[in-house]
Amino acid sequence: MAKGIEMRAAHFPGRAPIEAYGNGGFRFAEMSHRGSILCLPSGIYGWGATEEKPFAGDRLAKIFEDAADIRFLLFGTGREIRRLPPALADRMRQAGISCDPMSTGAAVRTFNVMLAERRPVAAALVAVD
């Protein structure tokens, strides 16, 4: 029996620096992704956050699944820096993750440096135009 196309959530199974960002997406590992992404020790995942709702998306739970391998989370909130909601900031602290909100551009640059230094870093990056 023939099967239909199986749609799965976007996922790159590895760690990679971000080569470019803008135009609503990111480029990494010689691929491109339209929309926001989570860069975690277990891979790079598509994420539903937007500049209007930078802390949205059920995929944030994936950060806590990988928490044992994350010491620093760089949270790129779009063009503007936005404070983390208190409940999310508290949950990060309880998980032992130092979370720093910043513009997406600053988060991309800092992530690439820390990744190259082999530090236990992850990034939540909201796509910008």
Q: Specify the number of domains making up the chain.
A: 1
Assigned domain for 4 exists:
no
CA distance 64 to 58: 12
What is the rounded radius of gyration, in angstroms, for the C-alpha atoms of the chain?
Answer: 14
Per-residue confidence at 7, pLDDT binned at 50, 70, 90? Answer: very low
CA distance 77 to 63: 16
Assigned domain for 1 exists:
no
Assigned domain for 48 exists:
yes
Per-residue pLDDT at 56:
82
Q: What is the pTM of this model?
A: 0.90
Q: Which CATH number does the domain housing residue 115 bear? A: 3.40.1230.10
Residue 100 pLDDT greater than 60, yes or no? yes
| 74: β partners | 100, 123
Single-letter amino acid, residue 25: G
Assigned domain for 56 exists:
yes
Assigned domain for 114 exists:
yes
